[in-house]
Amino acid sequence: MDYNQALEYIYGTAKFGSKLGLDSIKGLLGRLGNPQNDFKYIHVGGTNGKGSVTAMIAHILKAGGYKTGMFISPSLENFTERIQVDLEEMPREDLPGFTFEVKIRADEMVNAGLPHPTEFEIATAICLLYFSRRKVDIAVVEVGLGGRLDATNVVEDPLLSVITSIGYDHVNILGTTLKEIAFEKAGIIKAGRPVVSYPQLPEAARVIRRTSKEKDAALYEVSPEQISTIKSNLDGNIFDFRYKGAEYKNLELNLLGEYQQLNAAVALTAIEVAKEQGLEVSDGAIRDGLYKTKWPGRLEVVSRDPITIIDGAHNASGAEAFSRAIRGYFIDKKIVVLMGVLRDKDADSMVKSICPLSDQVVITRPDYPRAMDVYVLAEKASKYCDHITIEPDIEKAIDKGIEVAGFNGVMLVCGSLYLAGAARRYILGCRLPS
């Protein structure tokens, strides 16, 4: 098995569907020797911001001298982005061996009359086995979907759990109300283990508080009052953060968007709670890790000729946060929106937030089977912008957007992580940031 054959096998398991539940992943990991028990585990769930928070925590832990695993999903450009040790992607030459080992155990399950593990369960098993073999000290693991029945929820005794902003996404699976969605997200809270929560809307906050109380889990709720903004612009964020009696002055975060300060507060609170659990992390490591945090494809400036920003937000609340950030950055700039979404997303809410920003919208199609028809999306966008161009080919759409934006304009690439990844590859391959 080589790298391409490994990917073919992993992606080929998509035919077994996406089935939530822990029986299959437990069976698979049990056959692999339960590698998830070989290191400390910080579990991060939520609707928006969980990737950013995962990245911040991992960067701080690495800066603190811990051998740190990080599991994220989905990948932006390459599968191996999902699995990192000390912020280095799993080497391509390592993927075939780990994949083959997991495949053998998956085949054993099928031969025993059990369902074949899903694509995400296979990826999760590869990741946890890799972390075990690399002897990481601690892994920061992002939930794939939901929480309660997600394959990453197999660990019963995490160091702590973290829940980021909860909003509406995957409503056909997780529920149509915030209460139902929060119930699934709160499923990562474990008995007697602390949990850190973003400042949630009341309906979601009540569920998290009730679940924490039922499981005797100490709950640490982040508050906007813990933050004092000093600066937030296209160069990043500078802010103060307070936790109990401690105060961190002039923290620097290079991720864009003032909303990232709240995500940083969640990550910093998680680090403080981890310190209370016995981890040793210096103030210098906290500052250094936060400053060095990178999270590609999320409000990322990839070119300044014209200013080109890529963002993978793909639900209503993410699109609204993106729109607020853009409105704060650009006044009297010509803005071109390049947009493509998946058909199972709330496109109506997304275009309502983003398209009014633009002088012209270019509609394209993410390279993914569930991509929304460009003409359907264009009709939705036309309610908020008079100038719509349809170009299904992503590279041609980008070229068109750059042409329309001109030297002094702004191009926003948004609507889907699948679009963000493809656009990032093309733009950075053709036009390096000036």
Cα 31 from Cα 171, distance rounded (Å): 33
pLDDT score at 433: 40
Q: What's the half-sphere exposure (Cβ side, CA atoms, 13 Å) at 234?
A: 13
- The CATH number of the domain holding residue 327 is 3.90.190.20
Q: How do residues 324-355 score in pLDDT, each as one tens digit?
A: 999 888 878 899 999 999 998 999 999 999 99
Together in a domain, 282 and 313: no
Together in a domain, 405 and 425: yes
Q: How do residues 305-323 score in pLDDT, each as one tens digit?
A: 899 999 988 888 889 999 9
pLDDT score at 418: 92
pLDDT score at 434: 38
Together in a domain, 274 and 315: no
Handedness of CA 342, 18, 204, 221 (dihedral sign): negative
Domain count, the chain: 2
Handedness of CA 286, 289, 291, 296 (dihedral sign): negative
Together in a domain, 270 and 349: no
Together in a domain, 313 and 282: no
Q: Are 125 and 46 in contact (CB under 8 A)?
A: no
Three-state DSSP at 197 gives strand
- The CATH number of the domain holding residue 218 is 3.40.1190.10
Together in a domain, 309 and 266: no
Together in a domain, 324 and 259: no
Together in a domain, 349 and 241: no
Q: Are 323 and 352 in contact (CB under 8 A)?
A: no
pLDDT score at 14: 86
Which residues lie closer than 8 Å to 224 by C-beta, 6 or more apart? 199, 262
Q: Which of 234, 269, 292 is the last residue of a domain?
A: 292
Q: Which residues of 409-424 are buried (b: 16+ CB within 10 A; e: fewer)?
A: bbbbbbbbbbbbbbbb
Together in a domain, 283 and 382: no
Together in a domain, 287 and 179: yes
pLDDT score at 247: 94
Q: What's the half-sphere exposure (Cβ side, CA atoms, 13 Å) at 171?
A: 12
Q: Which amino acid is at 94?
A: D
pLDDT score at 163: 98
Bridge partners of 89, per DSSP, are: 84
Together in a domain, 270 and 324: no
pLDDT score at 432: 41
DSSP code at position 371: B
Regions of the chain short of the pLDDT cut 50: 432-434
Together in a domain, 304 and 421: yes
Q: What pTM, to 2 d.p., does this model score?
A: 0.93
| Domain with 88 in it | 3-292
